[in-house]
Amino acid sequence: MARAPAAPVADVSVDLIRAAGVKVTRGRVRVLDALHAARQPLSHAEMEMRLDEGSEPAMDRVTLYRILDSLVACGLALKAVDTRGVFRFSAAGAQRQHANHVHFRCTDCGGVFCLKAEPPPPPRLPRGFRLNELAFDLRGTCAGCSSREAV
Amino acid sequence: MARAPAAPVADVSVDLIRAAGVKVTRGRVRVLDALHAARQPLSHAEMEMRLDEGSEPAMDRVTLYRILDSLVACGLALKAVDTRGVFRFSAAGAQRQHANHVHFRCTDCGGVFCLKAEPPPPPRLPRGFRLNELAFDLRGTCAGCSSREAV
DNA sequence: GCTACAAATGCAACAAGGTTGCGTTTACTG
DNA sequence: CAGTAAACGCAACCTTGTTGCATTTGTAGC
Ligand SMILES: [Mn+2]
Ligand SMILES: [Mn+2]
Ligand SMILES: [Zn+2]
Ligand SMILES: [Zn+2]
C-alpha cells in the first residue's frame, strides 16, 4: 500500500499529440480527450460546455478554436460542417474508417448507413484543382422510415 | 411602326412568383432571375455582388435575406449549406439538371463546380431502402484557391 | 381608378460563430 | 538551466444571419 501512485499509466491523447509532432499542452490534451470520449462530433460551443464541467479553469474561447484547428491540421481531428452551418469536430480515428465506402443518408430520420460498396475512382479534375476527400452519398428513405411512411 | 411596345414578352420569374401565390415585387423578380442565370448555387454575398452590377439601386441586405428565404418557403428556390458553413441558394428547377454529374466542392471558398463525369451507378441497397438522390462530391481546393494559397 | 390592408421593405440594433494582432507564458531543445 | 519557437489570453474585429419597428408597396375589392 501507500504505493499506488497518481500513476500516468498510459495517456493515449498525450502520446498521439507527441507523435503528431506538436507541443503537448494541457489544452490540447483536454480537448483531444473530450473528442475521444464524445459519441458524436462536437461543436465549439458544446466542447466549451464540456470543458467547463471539469475542475480546471476554462480556457479562452480563441484558444479553443486554435486548439481544434491545430488538431485538425496535424491529422488528429476532423472538421465538418453540420446542417446549420456550424463546424463540428471529431477524433480522427473515428471517421477514417468511413473513408472507403459509400453511405446512405436517410432524409427522414437523418440516419447514416454504411454500404458495402466502395466509391468509384475520382474523375479527372480541371487544371489546378486539388482533391482532398471524396464522398459518394446516396440519399433517400431508409427501410424503417419507408415502411412507417407507407401506412 | 410606332407600335413596338416596351413589351414584356414572357417573364418567367414573374409568372413563377405569381403562380406561387406571393406578391410579385421587383426584388423577388431580380433575385429569381439571378438564380436562374447562375451556374452554381449562390451565397448571399455573391448574390449581393451580382445585384450591385445592375442599374437598379442595391436592395437592403436584410431584404435580400428575406427574399431568399421567401423563395425557399414557396418552393421556388433551394437552400443548402456549403463546405464553409455558408448557405447557398439555387433555383428550384435547376437542381434536376445537376442530378447527373459529379460536383467538386471547394473547402476554401465554398464554391461548387460541375464536372463532366457522370456519377457511377448506385450500388445495391438493403431491402426496404428507397433511393431518392445520389451525390458524388469531390472535396478539396479549387484552382483559384490553390494558386492563391501557394503564394 | 381608388381604397384599404396585408405583405414587403429599409434601417438600426443584435447575436452567434469565427478570426486577427499582439504582448506574455510555456513546452521543448541543447 | 537557459534560449527559443510555439501556444496562450485578451481585446478588437469580421462575416453571416436574425429581430423589431416604422414606412412603403402590391393587390383584392369596390
Ligand atoms: Mn461508414
Ligand atoms: Mn452541376
Ligand atoms: Zn430513416
Ligand atoms: Zn475555392
Average pLDDT over residues B59-88: 96
C-alpha cell at B92: 428550384
pLDDT of residue A6: 43
Q: How confident is the model at residue B3 (pLDDT cuts 50, 70, 90)?
A: very low
Spatial contact of A136 and A120, defined as CB atoms under 8 Å apart: yes
Q: Work out the average pLDDT over B2-31.
A: 82
Q: Which among A79, A138, A141 is the top mutation candidate for probing chain B, defined by the most B β-carbons within 10 Å of its own β-carbon? A: A138
Q: What dihedral do alpha carbons A101, A106, A107, A110 form, nearest 10°?
A: -100
| Cβ atoms of residues A134 and B138 within 8 Å | yes
Record the pTM.
Answer: 0.82
Q: Over the stretch A41-82, which tens digit does the pLDDT of each residue have?
A: 999 999 999 998 878 888 999 999 999 999 999 999 999 998
Give residue B35's pLDDT band: very low, low, confident or very high (50, 70, 90): very high
Beta carbon of B49 within 7 Å of strand D?
Answer: no
Task: Establish whether the CB of B101 is closer than 7 Å to any nucleic acid atom in strand D.
Answer: no
Cα–Cα dist A118/A104, whole Å: 12
A32 CA to centre of ligand 4 in angstroms: 29
Q: Where are the domains of chain A?
A: 12-94, 103-149
Say which amino acid occupies A78.
L
User: Is A3 a residue whose pLDDT tops 60?
Assistant: no
Which of the nucleotides in strand C have any atom less than 7 Å away from a protein CB atom? 7-13, 16-21, 26-28
Nearest nucleotide to the CA of A24, by C1', is C27
Q: In terms of pLDDT, which residue wins out, A93 or B2?
A: A93
Cα A52 to Cα A35, A36, A58, B126: the distances in Å are 15, 17, 5, 43
From B147, which residue of chain A is nearest by alpha-carbon distance? Answer: A128
Is residue B1 over pLDDT 70? no
Which phi and psi angles does A56 have, rounded to 5°? -65, 155
Q: pLDDT by residue (tens digit) across B87-122?
A: 999 999 876 778 778 999 999 899 988 888 888 888
Report the C-alpha gap between B30 and B32 in whole angstroms. 6
Q: Which of residues A29 and A100 earns the better pLDDT score? A: A29
As a whole-number percent, the residues of chain B with pLDDT over 70 amount to: 91
Q: Which of A85, A107, A130 sits opposite B132 (nearest CB)?
A: A107
Check whether B33 has a pLDDT greater than 60. yes
User: Which range scores top for mean pLDDT: B36-50, B89-103, B132-146?
Assistant: B36-50
Give the residue among A129, A92, A135, A131 at the shortest CA–CA distance from A115.
A135
pLDDT tens, position by position, A113-148: 888 888 888 889 999 999 988 888 888 888 888 887
- CATH topology classification for B12-94: Arc Repressor Mutant, subunit A (1.10.10)
Nucleotide with C1' nearest the A43 CA: C17
